[in-house]
Structure 1
Amino acid sequence: MSKKNNVQPISICWLRRDLRLEDHAALYHALKSGYPVLAVFIFDPNILDRLENKKDARVDFIHQQLVKLNQQLTEKGSQLLVKFQTPQKAWEEIIGDFEIKAVYTNHDYEPYARKRDQQIADFLTQNGIAFHTYKDQVVFDKGEVQKADGTPYTVFTPYYKQWRLKLNPFYLKPYPTAKYFKNLYQISEPSEKEKCSLPSLEAIGFSSSGAKFPPVNFKEKLDGYEKYRDYPAKNATTKLGLHLRFGTVSIREVVSEALSQKADKWVSELAWREFYMMILWHFPKTVNSSFKPDYDKINWRNNEKEFELWCKGQTGYPLVDAGMRELNATGFMHNRVRMVVASFLCKHLLIDWRWGEAYFAEKLLDYEQASNVGGWQWACGSGNDAAPYFRVFNPELQLKKFDPKMEYVFKWAPEYKSALLPIPIVEHEFARKRVLEVYKKALNEKAS
C-alpha cells in the first residue's frame, strides 16, 4: 500500500446508485460525522466486463453525471475520487492513502451488490473502519411494509394499501446536505488532485454512446399521466426511470411532487418499483428462478431464429416490432408495449422469460434488476401476483386499443405503411392454444 496522503482522519461517502449531492442520505450522515468527507465512486470491472457493447449508454450516462458531480465538488474545494478496480482492490488502495474513520453509503438490494457490500464491510471492519449504510433509493425498503405476522407481502394490492397508510411527511423529508457542505474534505495538494482525477470513458474501456438522455422534467407530465399513460404515441410518461436508477433525482422529491399533484396512478407505479425491490430482497432466487417453482417445468421451445426476429422487431406484429425497434434505437420502451412484447415472447413464441429479461438488461437505459425480473415474471405468469397463465395478450387488439391510428407503429416500423405487410411468424390463435397446452402440462405435473 502507498504512503498515506496525510494523517488527517476523514469519512468517506461511497456513491453508487445515488449520483447527486442534494437530499442524499449517506452523504448527509457522513457530513455530520465530525470528520471531513471525501466522495468516492468505483467503476467496477465485475460489472463493466459483462457489458459487451463498449458504447453502452448507461456507462456514458454515469460518466457524464460523475463529471457534473466533480465540477460541483471542485467548486466547493473538494473533488471526487474515482477508482477503476474491483471494489476490494479499490478499498485496499483507499485505506492505504487516507486515514479513514468511517465509510457511509446507501443500501443496494441486488444480489451481487449485497454480496459485495458484505465483503467490503468485513474488510473495513477488520481494518478498524466503520461501515454505515442507509435507505435512500426507496421510500420504504426491506421489511418496512409487511404483513401483521412479519412476513413479506407477495401480492401488490394489499402491499400498496399498507404502503399508502404508512406514508407520511416524515418519510419524505429531504436530507439537508447543503447546510453541511463546509464539511467536505478540502483538496489542495497537487498530489491529492492527481489521485482524484476522473478517468476518461476510454480509460475504463468505453466510448461515447451519442445517446440523448431524457431530462428530469416529470413535474409537467403528471397532470395527464393517468389518462394518457397507456398510449405509446403520446409523450405522456415521465421517462424518469433512468434518473431513479442512478439516483440523479431523489425518490423523496419525486413522491412528494406526485402527492402534491394528486397523481395517484403515478404514485402506485413508484410503489410497484419498491414492491419489486422488496421481493428481490426477500426472494433473491427469483433473479434466475421462477417465483412459482412449477413454472420452471415449462417445456420452452427456445427457437433461436424466432428469438432473433423478436430482438430485431421482425415478428410481423406491428406493436411488437415497433416496441423492439424503439428499444434498440433509444434504450427506452413504453411500459404498455413492454407488457405486450414480453407476453409475445413467452406465450406466442414459448421462449423462456430469462432470455427476454437478459435482452432487456442489455438494452434498457432504465434497467433495474428488481423491476425487470418482476416485470418479466409477471408477463410469463411465473412471478408473484403475476398475470394468470391463461391471459395471453392479443397484439392486434392491443394495437387497436392503444395505437389505433398506428402513429407509434409508423414511427418505429414504417414498413407497416405499405400495402404489402410483413407476414406474422406465428398465428395468434394457434400460439394461444399451444401455450395453454404447454403451460397446463407443466403446471399439472406433480413433483416426482
Structure 2
Amino acid sequence: MDTEADPDPSFSTSPFARSPWSAHFNTDLPPTPEDNSFLPNILMGSLVREEGHIYSLAAAGDLLYTGSDSKNIRVWKAQKEFSGFKSNSGLVKSIVIGGQKIFTGHQDGKVRVWKVSTKDPSVHKRVGTLPTLGDYIKCSMKPRNYMEGRRRRNLWIKHFDAISSLSLSEDQNFLYSASWDKTFKVWRVSDSKCLESIQAHDDAVNTLVSSIDGLVFTGSADGSVKVWRRELQGKGTKHFFSQTLVKQECAITALAVNDEATFIYCGSSDGVVNFWEREKSLSHGGTLRGHKLAVLCLATAGRLLLSGSADMGICVWQRTAAEHSCLSVLTAHTGPVKCLAVEKDSEAGEGERRWIVYSGSLDKSVKIWRVSEQPPAVDQSPRQQLGESPSGSGFFVNAPSFVIRGQ
C-alpha cells in the first residue's frame, strides 16, 4: 500500500540556516495595546518557501504545520523551523490535527497518519495509511466491495482521486475525507477502519466540514452545498442526506462553521461568500461580496470570518447582531491565497479578542498576521492606509478598510 521510508532525520537536525525557508519579521514593532494608536491588523512576518506552493496549513498550540506540492510537511515553532517529515505522494492537500495524531490528505487519494515521538517532540513518525493494508486485503477478497470508477473497478474503502479536504468530528472519534472522486468517507480514528463511503455529489467534492450534533456539510464543483446527518449504529455510523442549502452554476470552493456552529459559510468560484443561520433552520442569511476572483479558503475566529481568494487578498469580516461587515483587507501575498489557519493570540490583553492568522499562498509563502475584532483606526496617516510601515520595509502594517456592496 505505502512504501514510504521513515522520516528523514535531517529534518530535526538541520540548522535553521540550511532550511529552504527564509523567515522575515517586522522589526518595526507596533504600538502596545495601551497606546491609542494601536493598529489592530498587522503583518507580523513572512515565511518564504523555495520548495513549492502552499496548499495546506494546520495550527496546534505553538506549532504550525505546512503542506505543499513538494514531498515535505514542515513544522514551525515560534516562526522558526522545528521539524518536518516527508511523504512519497507529493502534494499535501489537507492537514488536520487530533490529539497526538496528525492526518494528511494527498493527491494520490490516501490519508496518512503521523504521530509525535514521546521521546523527542521534534520527531514525527508515520504510523498508518488509510485505508490500512489489512482492510484493503480483506475488502478486496469480496467482489461486492468493488465499485465502477472512471478507468477501472475500485474498492469502496479507497479514494480513487485526490483528497481535497479532511475534517474531524467534534469528539474526534471520526475522520472525514472528501475527494474529487465525488465521495466522502468516514473513518473511525481508534482503529483506522473505513465505516462508510457516501456518493455525495455529481462532481468533485472540494470541501467538507464537520459540525456539532453530527452534522456534516459538503461543497462540490457541481455548485451545491449539502447537509448530512450522522447516526451512530453500534460501533459504526450511518450518514443520511438532510438537505441542499444551495444549487448554483459556480463551483463551491470552501466551507467553514463558526465555533458555536450558529453560522455556516460557503465560498465559491465567483468570489461570493454565502452564509446560513442554524438558529433559523439553516435559512439563507445573506451574501458577502468582497472579492474579485474565486474564494479559495475560509476560517472563523470568534466573531470574525476570514476569506482568502485568488485575487491575493484576505477579507476580515466581523459579525454583529444585525449584519456582517468587512473590517479590512489583508494584502501582502503575490499569488492566490490557498489556505488559512487561526490561533488565539497568547499575548492579547485581558478581555481583548485577538488572533494570530496564518495564510498560505501559491506565491510559496506563509504570512503571519495579528488580527483583532477591534475596528481599524480611522485617523491613520496616508502611508499607513496604504499598508506601509514607517521604515518602508514593505510590511503591510494595516490594510485599507473595505466597503461592502450589494450585501
TM-score tier after normalising by the smaller chain length? under 0.3
TM-score, structure 1 normalization: 0.22
Larger strand proportion, structure 1 or 2?
A: 2
TM-score, structure 2 normalization: 0.24
Which structure's relative contact order is higher, taking Cα pairs within 8 Å and 6+ residues apart?
Answer: 1
Larger-Rg structure: 1
